[in-house]
Amino acid sequence: DTDGNGIFDEPHRIDTTRVSVGPHGEEAFGGDTWDPSAVSGDGRFILFRSGATNLGGDANPANNLFLRDRCLERGVPVPDCAATTEMLAAGVSAAAMSADARTIVYVAWNHLELMPRDAGVFVLRRANGRTTEPELVGTTSEYDLAISSDGRFATFPSTWNASSNYLRQTMVADLQGSG
């Protein structure tokens, strides 16, 4: 960053830009931003976790999950572009996103009424600029999960077992369902 503006955009170099910013581009503050969880196939959407209090959503710095739409930052006109940072969920320990950013899966520990011992694995679907309510697809006590590039399948470890032996199992969820 030779000009000191925090954006590594010097000519003939790889462009590196901070995406953990507030709704008006201000730097995140009030908590750390953790591992970027995913980037869409075209680089427009970035999924990340943060405890910052100024990124939108609530002011509770509890591993909130954010989706940054970089449409205006890339200099390409996009219909319905808002260049926003949207809070998707709180209490998130891991997340993954399909290549088109329409399907997001995440692990959250803040739904104790649903899962008293384990965290929930949830799916969100995005279409026409709107995000659906989270849908529970399984439980886990781990932080790992993955999603197929087309958003149809998600995998995650689970200690759920009908015989109650609580050994770790690998689960796959068909997010299109059977119907």
Check: CB of residue 53 under 8 Å from CB of residue 64: no
**Residue 178 clears pLDDT 70, i.e. is over it:** no
Say if pTM beats, i.e. exceeds, 0.85: no
Angstrom distances, CA of residue 31 to CA of 37, 54, 70, 105, 148: 17, 9, 22, 23, 31
Angstrom distances, CA of residue 148 to CA of 4, 57, 72: 39, 28, 27
The pLDDT, as a whole number, for residue 96 is 92
DSSP string, 57-118: S-S--S-EEEEEE-TTTTT---TT----EEEEESSEEEEEE-TTSSEEEEEES--TTT-SSS
- Residue 137: φ, ψ to 5°: -115, -10
22-77 confidence digits (pLDDT tens): 767 777 776 676 666 788 998 888 888 888 877 766 555 567 888 888 776 655 55
Pairwise CA distance, residues 152 & 158, whole Å: 19
25-40 confidence digits (pLDDT tens): 777 776 676 666 788 9
Q: Which DSSP state fits 23?
A: T
**Residue 101 clears pLDDT 70, i.e. is over it:** yes
